[in-house]
Amino acid sequence: MKIINVVGARPNFMKIAPLMEAYNKNGQIEPLLVHTGQHYDEKMSDLFFRQLGIPEPDMNLGIGSASHAVQTAEIMKAFEPVCLEHKPDVVLVVGDVNSTIACGLVAVKLGIKLIHVEAGLRSGDRSMPEEINRILTDSISDLLFCTEQSGVDNLLAEGVEDDRIHMVGHVMIDTLLKNLEKAQKSNMLADLESRFGVNGDGYAVLTMHRPSNVDDPVVFSRILDALEVIQKDLPIIFPMHPRTRNNIAGTELGSRIEDMTNLHLLEPVGYLDFLKLTSSAKIVLTDSGGIQEETTVLQIPCITLRENTERPITAEIGSNQIVGTSTESILQAYSVVKSGQFRKPQVPPLWDGKAAERIVKALVKKI
């Protein structure tokens, strides 16, 4: 069975790595790997291939950045000839980025079976570009692999037949569990000490890249109001996403960030360094999807700077609090964590490092 696997953006790499390994072990699948090139900076792409041992992509479509319509269309135009040439039995897409829906659409229009890994997640917020990508990708997929029960429930409620849905756990957590020990060897904490004088025992980690936060100066500014207060209490380490970096360059928001003496900016960091950073943090503040889940497994309190989440299990039983973006609610959540009234999180069912194995087993049986 020939499977074309698609990656494009940073969070896709952690999801595809264990699948490539599981195909290899199984031996019945001929995998090809296509990188759309949606992310292309060394620190947003190649670094992850090296650190996670992902094979070199068989093809890089080199699409790069553009508006949603142009990026999606260019990926489709470049991916169609790849499918025509290689005639895969299956196209497998992960997550919810533009590369996911673009390649999914090409596959089904050519009559190729489509598999979606991380299916069924819903934030209920259609202003979020990823929500549209999720709904559309799920609606055209033949087999849907879910990370949490809410995904299964959402798909059933949308009329997807039960036998096309598989609850398998989370491939991104396969990667986390596999690399946790290795990550402890990272020099990240020594670097923090030498560069910023930050003690490895006490800091917060911040990531922000959602357009609803970083493309809107009003929202960004009220988040900064909260960060200004927090950094006086606890140093904040902020590996900055390129979208965010580009947005603040030369703006007042940029100057405010520079003026915060205890908020320390980094370039995006590689997976192992980031895992070391988050696993040793006192608290994580984020608007990322994946980081809400990783902090739950790491049992690190997570304050999510969003009004909603498509990953509700992390807030129901994990370490996540969805606090929105008002200055007061962020500070309130911070003080709750600081006072130690933070519940002991549980790890969601099947987040055990074996999701990729389950997916490959189901693929071999069903396709």
Q: Are strands 113-117 and 30-35 parallel, antiparallel or unpaired?
A: unpaired
Which of the following is catalytic: 170, 209, 241, 264?
209
* Shortest distance (Å) from residue 279 CB to ligand UD1: 20
Choose among 364, 355, 366, 365: nearest CA to 30: 364
264 alpha carbon, distance to own chain's centre: 22
Does 35 help bind ligand UD1 (rule: CB under 6 A)? Answer: no
Residue 268 binds which entry of ligand UDP, ligand UD1, none, CB below 5-8 Å type-dependent: ligand UDP
Q: Is 210 helix (H, G, I), strand (E, B) or coil?
A: coil
Residue 116 binds which entry of ligand UDP, ligand UD1, none, CB below 5-8 Å type-dependent: none
The footprint of ligand UD1 on this chain (CB under 6 A) covers a number of residues equal to 19
Does 366 help bind ligand UD1 (rule: CB under 6 A)? Answer: no
Q: Given candidates 116, 209, 306, 358, which one binds ligand UD1 under the rule CB under 6 A?
A: 209
Beta bridge partners of 33: 5
With a CB cutoff of 8 Å and minimum separation 6, the contacts of 135 are 122
Residue 41 binds which entry of ligand UDP, ligand UD1, none, CB below 5-8 Å type-dependent: ligand UD1
Q: Given candidates 50, 56, 65, 187, which one binds ligand UD1 under the rule CB under 6 A?
A: 65
Could you give the CA distance from residue 173 to residue 354 in angstroms, rounded to a whole number? 9
Q: Which stretches of the chain bind ligand UDP, using CB under 6 A? A: 10-11, 14, 172, 207, 239, 268-269, 271, 274, 288-291, 294
**The Cα angle at residue 60 between residues 59 and 66, in degrees rounded to 5:** 150
Choose among 55, 20, 27, 108: nearest CA to 364: 27
154/309 with CB nearer ligand UDP = 309
**Stretch (H or E) spanning 264:** strand 263-266
Tokens 């999801």 belong to 15
* Shortest distance (Å) from residue 216 CB to ligand UDP: 17
Residue 134 binds which entry of ligand UD1, ligand UDP, none, CB below 5-8 Å type-dependent: none
**Stretch (H or E) spanning 338:** helix 327-338
Beta bridge partners of 284: 205, 302
**Site map 235..274 versus ligand UD1, x via CB under 6 A:** ------xxx--x----------------------------
Does 40 help bind ligand UD1 (rule: CB under 6 A)? Answer: yes
Annotated catalytic residue 86 = no
Beta bridge partners of 299: none
Does 97 help bind ligand UD1 (rule: CB under 6 A)? Answer: yes
Could you give the CA distance from residue 20 to residue 267 in angstroms, rounded to a whole number? 28
Q: Which two tokens stand for residue 146?
A: 């879910």
**The Cα angle at residue 78 between residues 69 and 269, in degrees rounded to 5:** 75
Q: Given candidates 36, 98, 154, 295, which one binds ligand UD1 under the rule CB under 6 A?
A: 98
Residue 194 binds which entry of ligand UDP, ligand UD1, none, CB below 5-8 Å type-dependent: none
* Shortest distance (Å) from residue 55 CB to ligand UD1: 20
Cα-atom radius of gyration of the chain, to the nearest Å? 20
* Shortest distance (Å) from residue 365 CB to ligand UDP: 29
137/207 with CB nearer ligand UDP = 207
Q: Given candidates 11, 31, 120, 301, which one binds ligand UD1 under the rule CB under 6 A?
A: 11
With a CB cutoff of 8 Å and minimum separation 6, the contacts of 163 are none
Catalytic residue IDs:
209
- Residues of this chain that interact with ligand UD1 (CB under 6 A) are 9-11, 38-41, 44, 65, 96-98, 129-130, 209, 241-243, 246
